[in-house]
Amino acid sequence: MFGQTRRRLTMFYSLMMFFFLLLLVFGMHESMEWSITSEQEREVLDTTEDVLNEEIILLQRHGSLEDDSEDYKASNGNLYFYAFDNHGKLINYSRAVPVLEPLILEAIQKWNVPDNQIMEFTNTHNFKYEYKVLMAAKPIVIDGENRGMVYVGKDVASVYNGLRKATLILGLLSLLAFIVANFAGHIMAGKAIIPLKEAYERQRQFAADASHELRTPLSVVMASVDVLGNDASIASPFLQQVIVDMRDEVKKMTKLVSDLLLVARSENQTFKLVTEKFDLIEAIHEIVRKMQPLADEKHINLFFVKQESVIIRADIQRIKQLLIILIDNALKYTPGNGVVTVKVDGEFEKNKIRIMVRDTGIGISLTDQHKVFDRFYRVDRARSRDSGGNGLGLAIARDIVNLHDGELYIESKIGEGAAFIVELKK
């Protein structure tokens, strides 16, 4: 139980750490990308303004520039510009790399971006290298006359490639931190439950010791009640009823003590199974026969779907106890003239068998289905109290199934009865 709690705490801590690191990496990537983009766009816009001023000065000084487009002017780093007059003639430039220039000129021909705004495009077609370009344009206006356009761009792919690499490294470091944190969380969860485990062990040991010590005085009380019940000198109907009530209460107390002792032993893992091969069908038939008087008393049809022998290896006494608990529970919650059906399916899966105990009782709501195996939990407390239930039966049934490495689950709807299904290895 504590191992499962530790795993759940570790998983919860790990999920919290995972989402925190994921949010951290994503947030840092987005903030860095926004910061880099804003700086790159600002640089492009500032360069566009500088180039525009230079072109205005040159045009004012010389009136025009000779068309030297046949000459190659290398760009300064990744920045480049192209200046056109109002007739579309290239008057000045600092060219982009040759492989990128056709894309730039195509973008200029289709330009429809407002002034002081950035156009961004990425192209990897037929390129080994990915180009990510930011471009801006401004008109060349002299004395109120539009004399042309200046286009400035920058290839920022290397910057964003560096950002992706930094994000990848950050992600890997976060993964490493997650693994370390997961390991540390497992250790911390183990230390956190040590006080709880110690307190629980003391409580469990007290329950086991108290249950064990109570068995002897209860046996003495039961023997004394039997002696009084057989005493012919007690003729008073009132005293005889008192003796009968005492016997019933001592029986309930004895059953409760036995159940508590069994639960304590199973939790302490001192309970050992004595496994052997036996015919499950014969064992069920025996239990159904023993439970038949109780069913008849409540006018319930207890029906066992017989079939050929099913041989399994298990602790026959505990399996019988399991069957008694499930059938008794079905009889408790089934009204008169109802039906309780016991069925075995030995063919549903290789090396496994399925035992189903179905009733036509009140049913169990979906919210209660995961609670019915908790100790002392009862769906209908009044009815369980009247029938002598103590809320430990299904908890013991679950422990028996767990000791056999099996599964126990419920299929039920309110008003349609319930089916308790046990899956065991053959």
pLDDT of residue 128: 61
* pLDDT 10s digits, 172-203: 988 888 888 888 777 877 777 677 667 666 66
Is the pLDDT at 358 greater than 50? The verdict is yes
**pLDDT (tens digit, 9 = 90+) per residue, 375-421?**
666 655 444 445 555 567 788 888 889 888 899 999 888 888 899 99
**Tell me: the pLDDT tens digits for 118-137?**
888 877 555 566 778 889 99
Given a cut of 60, whether residue 76 has pLDDT beyond it is no
User: Which of the four pLDDT bands, split at 50, 70 and 90, describes residue 213?
Assistant: low
Residue 4 has pLDDT above 80, yes or no: no
Indicate if the pLDDT at residue 94 is higher than 90.
no
Residue 152 has pLDDT above 80, yes or no: yes
Torsion of CA 220, 224, 225, 227, to 10 degrees: 140
* Rounded distance between C-alpha atoms, residue 412 and residue 105, angstroms: 72
Kindly report the three-state secondary structure assignment for every residue of the chain. Answer: CHHHHHHHHHHHHHHHHHHHHHHHHHHHHHHHHHHHHHHHHHHHHHHHHHHHHHHHHHHHHHCCCCCCCCCCCECCCCEEEEEEECCCCEEEEEECCCCCHHHHHHHHHCCCCCCCCCEEEEECCCCCCCEEEEEEEEEEEECCEEEEEEEEEEECHHHHHHHHHHHHHHHHHHHHHHHHHHHHHHHHHHHHCHHHHHHHHHHHHHHHHHHHHHHHHHHHHHHHHHHHHCCCCCCCHHHHHHHHHHHHHHHHHHHHHHHHHHHHHHHCCCCCCCCEEEEHHHHHHHHHHHHHHHHHHCCCEEEECCCCCCEEEECHHHHHHHHHHHHHHHHHCCCCCCEEEEEEEEEEECCEEEEEEEECCCCCCHHHHCCCCCCCCCCCHHHHHHCCCCCCHHHHHHHHHHHCCCEEEEEECCCCCEEEEEEEEC
Q: Quick count: other Cβ atoms within 10 Å of Cβ 400?
A: 25
pLDDT tens sequence across 31-75 = 988 988 888 888 888 888 888 888 888 777 765 544 444 443 444
**Residue of higher predicted confidence among 125 and 170:** 170
Q: What is the pLDDT of residue 355?
A: 92
Angle at 266 between CA 9 and CA 321, to 5 degrees: 125
In the chain, what percentage of residues exceed pLDDT 90? 13
Q: Residue 7 — pLDDT band, cuts 50, 70, 90?
A: confident
Average pLDDT over the chain, rounded to an integer: 80
Instruction: Please tell me the least confidently modeled range out of 167-176, 256-265, 284-293, 389-398.
Output: 256-265
- The answer to whether the CB of 287 falls within 8 A of the CB of 247 is no
* 315-356 per-position pLDDT tens digit: 898 899 899 889 988 998 888 889 999 999 877 677 889 999
